[in-house]
Amino acid sequence: MDARLVEIMNHTETAKGQLMDELRGLHARVADLERELARRSEMEETMRQDHHAELAKTEAALRTELADRLEVEKQRRNHQQELAHVQRIATLGEMAAGLAHEINQPLSAIANYAQGCILRLDSGNGQTAELRRIMKEVVNQAQRAAEIVRRVRSFARKDWVHPSVTDINEVVRETVAFIQAEAKNTGILIHQKLAGDLSEIRADPIQIEQVLLNLIRNSFDAMRASRSGPREVTVETSANSNEVEIIVTDTGVGFPKKEAHRVFDAFYTTKPHGLGMGLSISRSIIEAHGGRITAAPHSKQGTIIRLVLPAKTADDED
């Protein structure tokens, strides 16, 4: 055999051996890469499962925290409504003498009319027309007493907030009618300046009445402490953009301008025996209705309280 051919064959065998070694190396590297990929996939799957488990744990914690916060908020609202109800009952207690006098008037009138009717029947001089007129007066006075009782029962009710489309002017009229007897007994005049084109609001009328009653009775106290000047409270309503404004102005002793930021704080009071909760509760009620309340000394004498509530929108429904 030719030496050159042998050399080529030997070289070929050598190259073949080297190539086989390289292929075995490549196979080993591929196997290593496959094992590494499998390991990494397993790690990624473990991490993914751990991540999902952590997300689920976080979500459960957030749900628990949200539920706790909602429960705390519910308890806060319940507590606020309990305080509001207690204040209404306390207010009725303070007004008891005036309310008793106000109810006694129609009851006394009913008794007098009924006695007159009996006398006419006993004498045989009772004419049908005259007796009918007397009985109509009895009905009118009974309705008057029933209306007073209705106001008291409505004001004293213990209910959760029931927002409804409300005419704020009607709430003002109802409040003034409720407290008118006390005003007369203390020689205080209540003026109403109600805007005719006022938008309706969405609110609980009893709670808004409670706020107004508290403000007006505070004005009464301030004017009792004043030794001079007229005793007058003015309740005014007006429309402002998408809001309704109620302004309560009095001619009482007022308060220092530097104290304006404190008057709605809990336990702040200028009364010798006051608890300082009325205005704080009033602010909570107004803010719960999406409104705001501010107080400022009057430029001449007394205090100006402003209530601003959002007007009813097209989306509001009963």
Query: Are residues 318 and 192 both part of a single domain?
Result: yes
| End position of a domain, from candidates 46, 64, 92 | 92
- Coil, strand or helix at 117: helix
What integer pLDDT is reported at residue 237 of this predicted model?
Answer: 93
Residue 164 exposed, middle or buried by CB count within 10 Å (0-12, 13-18, 19+): middle
Q: Is residue 308 within 8 Å of 245, Cβ to Cβ? A: yes
Residues 6+ apart with CB under 8 A from 67: none
Cross-strand pairs, 36: none
Same domain, 237 and 313: yes
State the pLDDT at residue 250. Answer: 87
Q: Is residue 128 located within the same domain as residue 59?
A: no
pLDDT in the model for residue 87: 64
* Residues 191 and 117 reside in one and the same domain: no
Predicted local confidence at residue 3, as pLDDT: 74
Indicate the number of domains in the chain. Answer: 3
Residues spanned by the domain of 187 = 161-318
Q: What CATH number does the domain containing 123 carry?
A: 1.10.287
Do 310 and 165 lie in one domain? The reply is yes
Rounded to whole angstroms, the Cα distance separating 295 from 105 reads: 37
The predicted structure's pLDDT at residue 93:
66
> CA-to-CA distance for 220 and 179, rounded, in angstroms?
10
Q: Using an 8 Å Cβ cutoff, are 244 and 201 in contact? A: yes
In this structure, the answer to whether residues 69 and 205 fall within a common structural domain is no
- Specify whether 105 is located in the same domain as 41: no
Residue 197 is part of a domain; what is its CATH number? Answer: 3.30.565.10
What is the C-alpha to C-alpha distance for residues 127 and 131, in angstroms, rounded to an integer? 6
Pick from 47, 73, 92: which residue ends a domain?
92
Instruction: Provide the phi-psi class of 226: left if phi over 0, else alpha when psi is between -120 and 50, else beta.
Output: beta
Compute the distance between CA of residue 236 and CA of residue 302 in angstroms, rounded to an integer: 15
Residue 246 CB-half CA count within 13 A: 30
Give the residue from 92, 115, 144 where a domain finishes: 92
Residue ranges in the chain whose pLDDT is less than 70: 1, 76-88, 90-99, 101-102, 126, 151, 155-162, 225-227, 255-278, 314-318
pLDDT at position 169 is 92
Same domain, 299 and 165: yes
Q: What tens digit of pLDDT does each residue of 118-150 get? A: 877 777 776 778 788 888 888 888 887 887 777
pLDDT at site 244? 92
CA 114 to chain centre: 47
Do residue 121 and residue 172 come from a single domain?
no
Q: Are residues 118 and 169 in the same domain?
A: no
Residues 85, 160: contact at Cβ < 8 Å?
A: no
**206 and 132 in a common domain:** no
Q: What is the pLDDT of residue 275?
A: 46
- Shared domain for 140 and 250, answered yes or no, is no
Q: Could you read off the pLDDT of 7-41 as tens digits, one per residue?
A: 777 778 787 878 887 888 888 888 888 888 888 88
